[in-house]
Chains A and B, each alone.
Chain A
């Protein structure tokens, strides 16, 4: 893999991590209110998939989408300002953490109804196919979403009409507090795609290079007329479901080494409740970001000193984003009404 691409993947992951950890701090300070679903642990999925996409491809995401927007290229300033609910936020302060939109970058939104991303992405893909364009639509969703009717209905239609849809399951093994063995009869999520004859593969979602390559291959097949493709990325969130959730239902041993997959450990999970301390997490060894950095140093792509520079750079971007958000004005009620009626064509109705 070429050096520039690797560099970009690492930078995107570092930026996502720094951004989200800072968002958590700003939440604690009261600058961010409401639900805040953070991405640490899952960066390799967003970075790998979105970097494999072209600028004319579409992205549909759920409520854990801040990093997706950042990786897509929305300036950190506008992402942070949206978390703060300010006028310069990417949705004008109307959407908030779960509803980020950037039409210019074809970032088609963050959605908070589980399973909702599938039919929306389906509709975009239908349009692309109808117009015979070389574009693809990327649809993100979690392991919990695959139990929703909309998921199955959308997969069926996407396959039936061979739509250019890349379905990406971010399988972090949990739907809030419910571990996957307790919510899914088939825990190998990618196997569900077989019911609709959709080619599917499972990749290590902690390895950004594998995710990137799988997404590239899938997008090539889509552009070659291969119809919808499915990638299951096995990953893990290091934090609770949202800032409101301490994640105490997850045993330390699991967070430390989440490769434990068998039903016995699933039973153990039900018994032990505790969220790991940062020290325990650190003891688990280098995470996926650390592994990629190490790989790049070993392969001679990057010197340690450059990694330090990258860290400094993303920290500066995040700091700037926070200052920007703090200074951004509050939106007005006039703006709210204007957004509500943005599609009205000069009609006076009442």
Chain B
């Protein structure tokens, strides 16, 4: 039976369930304790589990993330919250040189059951240093896994799966999704953490996307349907690994691929998705793969310009329409 929860509440439930089940699970980060987390994800946990398991840290990202790495080496299951992805650069050393490498470098002697959670994405006029995505930075690091939940249900499932996993998992949460609502079945069996989800079926083109843009793409698909274009929307849910099979079988049916992402276009997640699927599905495609992404520019503070730097629903509609037409042109000629 499912209930309606906000995205942050779903994450909060997941934390609570895992902390109750296993004393090795603990969380730390700036203002996660008394304050309850900047997006309320850890609300109530400090009172329930105490300060050793819900630790307010100083502003010392590299070292408290490193603390998580060290604790994971000796059997704990730390959930590190980096207040926002914009501070990830300070913690990269612990993640890249530590979490991602130690299991391998030790010849397989150690598990690394570490979760690093962080909000990110373009929210509302937070300025260039607080409107970053950066998923590509982590995608390029062997040894990590990356989950990108777009619904409260996935947030619940994927955080629980991440905590249960012995691999280092990065959970990228979107700042504009925390107050989105959706049904959450607390008891249902989840799909594997990296399995992509078919959000909408369609025959004319495949839209591969993730995180908040999975929602925008579904809105765009609804618009497109009004003009007779049926878009299939695939929400990747995981950026490392990527569930290529789900994408490929959709493309084999639709013959057109549009990749939609919020991050900057150049060398972003979309570049990997587009090239891998173009390689694999080349003979199924009726038109070149199209990418719709953020502009290659730091996010301007001004609200109008900020919106202009990332794909909007109308941009997705236009790109999908053009993609369908470009396929038909080449067939007609």
Q: Interface of A with B (CB < 8 Å)?
A: 33-35, 82, 85-86, 91, 93-99, 111-115, 144-145, 147-149, 175-178, 182-184, 249, 270, 330-333, 336-337, 340
Contacts and interface: CB of A to CB of B under 8 A. Distances in A.
A114 B86 CA distance: 11
Main SS class of interface, B: loop
A199 to B, nearest CB: 25
27 contacts: A33-B124, A33-B125, A34-B126, A35-B126, A35-B130, A95-B128, A96-B125, A96-B301, A98-B129, A99-B129, A99-B301, A111-B129, A115-B59, A144-B58, A149-B60, A149-B63, A175-B58, A175-B59, A176-B38, A178-B31, A178-B34, A178-B35, A183-B58, A183-B59, A184-B58, A331-B302, A333-B305
Given A34-B127, A183-B59, 16 more contacts: A35-B126, A35-B127, A85-B302, A94-B300, A94-B305, A99-B127, A99-B128, A111-B129, A112-B127, A144-B58, A148-B59, A149-B63, A175-B31, A178-B58, A182-B56, A330-B305
Interface of B: 30-31, 34-35, 38, 56-63, 86-87, 90, 124-130, 297-298, 300-305, 308
Contacts of B129: 98-99, 111-113
Given A94-B128, A97-B127, A176-B31, A147 B301 contact: no
A111 B63 CA distance: 21
Given A99-B127, A333-B308, A85 B35 contact: no
Contacts, number: 112
A141 to B, nearest CB: 10
Nearest to A248: B35
Among A97, A178, A331, find the residue whose CB has the most chain B CB atoms closer than 10 A: A178
A250 to B, nearest CB: 11
Contacts of A99: 127-129, 301
A33 B303 contact: yes
B31 A177 contact: yes
A113 B35 contact: no
Contacts of A96: 125-127, 301-302
- Interface centre among A86, A94, A97, A182, by most B CB within 10 Å? A94
Contacts of B297: 336-337, 340
Given A112-B127, A183-B59, A176 B30 contact: yes
B305 A336 contact: yes
Contacts of A33: 124-125, 303
Contact of B302 (A94, A147, A249): A94
A175 B30 CA distance: 9
A93 B303 CA distance: 9
Nearest to B83: A176
A333 B297 CA distance: 10
Nearest to A114: B59
A99 B297 CA distance: 16
Contacts of B34: 177-178, 182, 249, 270
Given A94-B300, A175-B30, A331-B300, A34 B125 contact: yes
B302 to A, nearest CB: 4
B246 to A, nearest CB: 35
B301 A94 contact: yes
A34 B56 CA distance: 25
Contact of B59 (A86, A94, A147): A147
Of all A-B residue pairs in the complex, the 7 with the closest CB atoms, nearest first, are A96-B301, A177-B35, A147-B58, A34-B125, A85-B302, A96-B127, A33-B125
Contacts of A249: 34-35
A98 B131 CA distance: 12
A144 B130 CA distance: 18
Nearest to A332: B305
Contacts of B127: 34-35, 95-99, 112
A98 B58 CA distance: 21
A98 B127 CA distance: 7
